[in-house]
Each structure stands twice: as C-alpha cells, then as structure tokens.
Amino acid sequence: MPFLPHTNADVASMLAVVGAADIDELFDEIPSNLLNTGRGNNEPAAGDAAGMSEMEMLRHMAERARADETGPCFLGAGAYDHHIPSAVWDIASRGEFMTAYTPYQAEASQGTLQLVYEFQTMMSELTGMDVCNASVYDGGSGLAETILMAVRAGERRSRGGPAGGRRSVALAGAVHPLYAAAARNIVGHQGIDIVRLPYGENGLADPSLLTELSEPPAAVVVQQPNFFGLLENVDAITDQAHECGALTVACVNPMTLGLLKAPADWGDGGADIVCGDGQPLGIPMASGGPSFGFICTRQSLVRQLPGRIVGRTRDLDGNPGFTLTLQAREQHIRRAKATSNICTNQGLLVTAATIYLSLLGPEGLRNVAGACHARTRDVVAALDLSRRFDAPYFHECVLRLGRPARPVVESMASRGILGGLALGPYFSDLSDCLLVCATEKRTTSDIRQFANALQDAVGRAA
C-alpha cells in the first residue's frame, strides 16, 4: 500500500499498546458475516490487487487524456476557454491552500479566511451588491439555492404581506436550460413551481408577460447575457418584477461584468440577488467541474443567504483578523431549519478566482470581455450565415444553418474542432441552429479554420 508509513516494528508496538494480537482483532465488534477478510470469497474491492505505481498510473491516465485533446474550441454555453494566468494555479495548488480543511479554526486559517473576504469584496464590486457567499457548487445548483433563498426571503419579508406565501418563481425562457433543469429538480421537492416564460421572436424575455401570470411569483429570474448570448432588457424586467412585488434574480457570467452594467444598477431598484458560475474567472473547463457557483445579495437579505460567509473582526490584542460568521444559518447549527444542507463548497476554485481577479484588475477584465466579444463578432463576420435572433448579442451568438445542426457539429468534431452547440436537444424550435462562442484565446487562424470546417460540414450535410 503506497501511502502507509508503518514499519512492522511500528505495527507490533502499536498493537501491544492497544492490547490486540493482530489488526483483525480491532474489527471484532463487526458481525463476522459482514466482514471481508480479503481471504474469503468476497471479490476484490478495486482493480488490480497490488495497485499501480505513480508512474504507471500517470501513463494510464495520460493516455486517456490525450485521446480527448481537440483543436480550437468555439463552444461556450456555460463553460468558456479563457486564458488562465500561470500564477493562478501555481499559487492555488500550494499545499497550504489545497490541503487545508474548511477554516473552522480561524486562527490557523487566516490565509483562506482573508482570501475569501477579498473574494467577497471583489464579487460585490462586480455585481454592485453588498455581500457574496464563499461559493456554492456551480451555476445550476446555485440557481436552485437562489430560488429557495428568494422564496424564503419573500416569506420573511412579509409574513402576511404582499409576497408572503408565494411558492412560484418565473424564469425567463432563455435562462440556461441545464441550469433550469437542475433548479427544477432541486426546488420541486419543496413544492416550489418554476414557470418558464417563453422567449419572444427576438430571443428576449417580454416583461409584460409577468403581468399575465396566473399567480404572482416570489421572484423573476433573468440571465444576462442570456443563453443565446443576447442582451436582455434587464432594466424593464427588473422594474416589472418589482412592480409585481417579486424579487429580481440576476444570473450572470461574472467575466462580462468587466464591461456590462452591474445588476445592482438594473432598472430603478436594481436586482435583489445575483447568482452565476465563476468558471470564466481563471478556472479550466475541466468537463464542467469543479468550478464554483456564487450568490451575492443585499445586506438586508444576508440571513437568507446559504453557504459560508467570512467576516472581519478583531483578536484578543485588538488586531484585525477574519473568521466565519453568521454560522447560525448553517446546517451544523441550524440542522433541519438551515438555509441549505451545503457544507463542502468549492473553496479552492474561489482561491483561483480571487488570484485571477487581482491579476486582471478592472482594466484586464474589461479588455477580456471586450476581446471575447470582438472575436465572436469576427466569427459571425467570417461566416455567410444569418443570425437567428436580431437582438444585440455579446460573446455568444445563435446562427441559423438551414439544416439540422447536430450532424454538422459531429462532422466538425471529427476534424478536431468544437464548433459550437447544436440547440435542437434543448429547444425543439431551434434544431437548425448553432450556438457559437469565441474567447480572447481565438486567433485569426483559428477562426479561418473554423469557418472552413463549418462550410465543409454544412456542405456535406446538404
């Protein structure tokens, strides 16, 4: 066994202290019929009995990894191929960050705690909110947590008041369909109904639909930019939601907030809760995880916020220091009445995102956002295809191929190009449409290669 330090002499002297003849004796409280001695008829627990050396394991894994390497990526839809500064993971991978536990012993965890406090500040700046939690799992489950929070907030805000007892939430039609699915699967168990508002012919949510709902919602969720890359009329939606006595929930890509209006400034009153996925902030796509979800909100709703929160305080000598706070919301204290069951979060990814944001700064983040949009504009210009929706787009765009998109995507993949997302499986009316995306990493040559491959694939599919 590769990671045990015990010598035979150690084992003998330890057993002597315990007063046991052998290690098997330490398991004598377990009913013998349940015990796998490893010498009986029980099948082995894993693969080869002996195990691989690190070299063999790395070879095995590297072969698998190499099989999946592809050329340039024009696929976005919630995971984005950005440049990650070298320093980000050099530092985040330090054992002191990577192998620490949740910072319950504050005095021995000031590194993680201060970093999270800085993270909370940066996310609050980006969104314009007062406070951010120290992460939830991802954008999809984070949307579920946000909806639960909004419903709770409605109940608290007005026991017997205007939003009390509301158990439904309205979701703009072009919110990420996989976020919507995760949210529905999670909140449905508490009897909360998610009403999907259809997107219009322009691909956008129509605020006037909110007035036509059979019952007023606890919250209205809108994504900016939406799943199609379109810029929603967030000001009008926010105002209309507030008009209906509902909270406005903003689902955002934090990278875009280097350039786009902060949700706190939407409409007259601003969004009330902001959620999203932090993957664009220095985190590799890595098949979708781990990244991290985040939830930001106003100070007045902080007690309904799920997940850990770090606060600044003072130590015995009066010096500033950091500690977890508001823990009475959490499962280890509040148990069945906790704001969520979450305990393990996505802390290491928050570490990476904090380092990323400090390296990029306001100008860097703005320029990354600008470059992503410019490269996507280049893609659209390089193709002789029409856009499916005519509303302004940012960083992602839906193109109409005039034939089923799925075989086209497969055909490009066979040439090593991730050519976008075929929308048919998610929206039956868009089966001839392709969602494409470019980041600051895409070069002119990548774009030319993509344009040629797409043209070929469309031609072949015809």
> Hey, which residues between 372 and 391 contact another protein (CB under 8 A)?
373-374, 377
Instruction: Please select the residue that binds another protein; options are 195, 216, 358, 431, rule is CB under 8 A.
Output: 358
> Would you count residue 27 as binding another protein (CB under 8 A)?
yes
402-431 residues in contact with another protein (CB under 8 A) are 409-410, 413-414, 416, 418, 421
Between 444-461 and 347-382, two packed helices, what is the crossing angle to 10 degrees? 70
Nearer to another protein among residue 182 and residue 379 (C-beta) = 182
Smallest distance from the beta carbon of 388 to another protein, in angstroms? 18
Smallest distance from the beta carbon of 144 to another protein, in angstroms? 8
243-272 residues in contact with another protein (CB under 8 A) are 257-262, 265
> Would you count residue 443 as binding another protein (CB under 8 A)?
no
Nearer to another protein among residue 97 and residue 213 (C-beta) = 97
Question: How many Å apart are CA 51 and CA 423, to the nearest integer?
Answer: 43
The interface region with another protein, picked from 102-110, 215-223, 239-247, 396-404 by CB under 8 A, is 102-110
> Would you count residue 366 as binding another protein (CB under 8 A)?
yes
Closest CA to 250 of 392, 147, 162: 147
165 torsion bin: left (phi>0), alpha (psi -120 to 50), beta (else): left
Instruction: Please select the residue that binds another protein; options are 155, 239, 367, 400, rule is CB under 8 A.
Output: 367
Instruction: Please select the residue that binds another protein; options are 162, 198, 381, 392, rule is CB under 8 A.
Output: 392
Cβ atoms of 260 and 233 within 8 Å: the answer is no
The interface region with another protein, picked from 214-222, 241-249, 315-323, 453-461 by CB under 8 A, is 315-323
> Would you count residue 100 as binding another protein (CB under 8 A)?
yes
The interface region with another protein, picked from 201-209, 211-219, 245-253, 323-331 by CB under 8 A, is 323-331
> Would you count residue 336 as binding another protein (CB under 8 A)?
yes
- Dmax over Cα atoms in the chain, in whole Å? 80
**72: which 2 tokens?**
């340039």
**342: which 2 tokens?**
């979450």
46-75 residues in contact with another protein (CB under 8 A) are 46-54, 57-58, 60-70, 73, 75
Question: How many Å apart are CA 204 and CA 382, to the nearest integer?
Answer: 25
> Would you count residue 360 as binding another protein (CB under 8 A)?
yes
- CA trace torsion 253, 255, 259, 265 (10° rounding): 50
Smallest distance from the beta carbon of 174 to another protein, in angstroms? 15
C-alpha radius of gyration, the chain, whole number = 26
Cβ atoms of 432 and 403 within 8 Å: the answer is yes
Instruction: Please select the residue that binds another protein; options are 21, 93, 268, 300, rule is CB under 8 A.
Output: 93
> Would you count residue 460 as binding another protein (CB under 8 A)?
no
Question: How many Å apart are CA 80 and CA 279, to the nearest integer?
Answer: 7
Smallest distance from the beta carbon of 212 to another protein, in angstroms? 25
Dihedral sign of CA atoms 306, 356, 176, 391 in order? positive
Cβ atoms of 304 and 152 within 8 Å: the answer is yes
Dihedral sign of CA atoms 372, 377, 383, 388 in order? positive
Other C-beta atoms closer than 10 Å to the C-beta of 357 total 26
Using omega within 30 degrees of 0 as the cis cutoff, is the peptide bond preceding 362 cis? no
Instruction: Please select the residue that binds another protein; options are 21, 162, 211, 286, rule is CB under 8 A.
Output: 286
- For residue 56, the one-letter residue type is E
Other C-beta atoms closer than 10 Å to the C-beta of 243 total 14
Nearer to another protein among residue 166 and residue 411 (C-beta) = 411
> Would you count residue 19 as binding another protein (CB under 8 A)?
yes
> Would you count residue 315 as binding another protein (CB under 8 A)?
yes
- Identify the DSSP state of 129: -
> Would you count residue 91 as binding another protein (CB under 8 A)?
yes
Nearer to another protein among residue 159 and residue 201 (C-beta) = 159
Question: How many Å apart are CA 252 and CA 294, to the nearest integer?
Answer: 10
Q: Please give the size of the binding site for another protein, defined by CB under 8 A.
A: 207
200-229 residues in contact with another protein (CB under 8 A) are none
